[in-house]
Amino acid sequence: MVDHADVIVSEVLCFVVKNYKRLDKSSLSEIIAKFYHEDELYGAKVELNKYVSSLSDGSPPVAVDGWSKVVNKQGQPVTRKSGDATQRRCADADDIMYMVATLDVNKIPLPRFVAEDLDRIPAVAGLQCRSLDYGAQTVVTQLSNTVEELTKRLENMESRVLHRISELDPFPTLTSTSGVPAVTPAVPSTSEASVRPATTLAGNKSQDATSSRSWAEQAINLATTEMKPLVRLRGKCHTDTVKAVPRRLTCFVGRLANDVTEDGLTSLLKEQGILDVQCKKITPRNGRVFNTSAFRVSCSANYESIFYNESSWPNGAELRDWIFYNRSNG
């Protein structure tokens, strides 16, 4: 059973609290500033202030360290008076993020915020808020459990396949048709091979002795080719002294109509919540003509859950990881 006394209806706070630790604060503030109206944002500030006031028996909420920054002398949330509506929404959104962060720093537990109108929840893929429709929430929970079970099965299957592969001989003996012993090439790891193009040892289909390059020569070149070291881990510690530049997510997006433009695709993905997306239309080489168009699309890792969600893309579009590798100078 759900105790409705502990439930506060606010689509804004439902979305913010649910995703406070899933998205970076600046992106979350920008999303709600663009999606919600001024009255919805200010209403969220009022609800947070009411809750803090209730913790001190109705007296002004001065007990929370830092709270006075967002309330006036009467103990009500400050009203932004900028002449530009966009700036007012951005200021209110920043106030909401500050209020939630202040409560989090002071270790004050929040009530349960729910969304009565799911149409007033930003379409950010993979992020869910609680709704008063508890029957629908039950269905979502069951689907989530099913996906989790299937994921575990897939991981177990992958583990078994990798184990079987490890039992195979990864270094077969190569013998050239010219009689010269072949050098066994270095074999990249499974994860590294998945992001590098396949390299062919044969110089031509016949593989005869008249080839301009023998099997031995090509094997030596393959063995001496510089391979990119495997990424063992990606750091996650919080520090203000040493900064890193996270790698952007990049994909080849195909099967789009020929009339799709860079600006059109960029606008669509920004509406889905990928705020720093970059789209570059790919021009076919050698004057070739295709019935569909393709793009090189990238964004920061903060939007991974949206970027790799099929509901963020047009029906029928295909995504493939963009392959980066060093080309040989030879």
pLDDT computed for residue 80 by the predictor: 79
- Domain finish residue from 109, 132, 155: 132
DSSP result, 138-169: HHHHHHHHHHHHHHHHHHHHHHHHHHHHHHS-
Q: Which residue has the higher pLDDT, 250 or 69?
A: 250
Contact 225, 328 (CB under 8 A): yes
Residue 174 located in a structural domain: no
Using one digit for the tens of pLDDT, what is the confidence trace for 28-82? 889 999 999 988 999 998 988 888 888 765 555 446 778 888 888 888 888 877 7
Q: Which of 178-187, 232-241, 243-252, 257-266 comes out lowest in average pLDDT? A: 178-187
172 in any annotated domain: no
Task: Tell me if 51 is assigned to some domain.
Answer: yes
Summarize pLDDT for 143-174 with one digit per residue, the tens.
888 898 898 888 888 888 887 776 665 555 44
- Mean pLDDT lowest among 8-12, 170-174, 326-330: 170-174
Is 149 a domain residue? no
Handedness of CA 100, 105, 111, 115 (dihedral sign): positive
CATH for 259: 3.30.70.330
Count of domains for the chain: 2
Count the Cβ atoms, other than its own, within 10 Å of residue 238: 4
Strand, helix or coil for residue 299: strand
Question: Would the pLDDT of 132 be above 50?
Answer: no
Average pLDDT, stretch 13-41? 88
140 in any annotated domain: no
**Rounded CA separation 145/135 (Å):** 16
d(CA 251, CA 311): 16
Instruction: Please report whether residue 327 resides in a domain.
Output: no
Domain of residue 298, residue span: 249-321
Residue that finishes a domain, picked among 94, 113, 132? 132
Beta bridge partners of 123: none
Which strands make up the sheet holding 293-299, listed edge to edge?
Answer: 278-281, 293-299, 249-256, 318-321
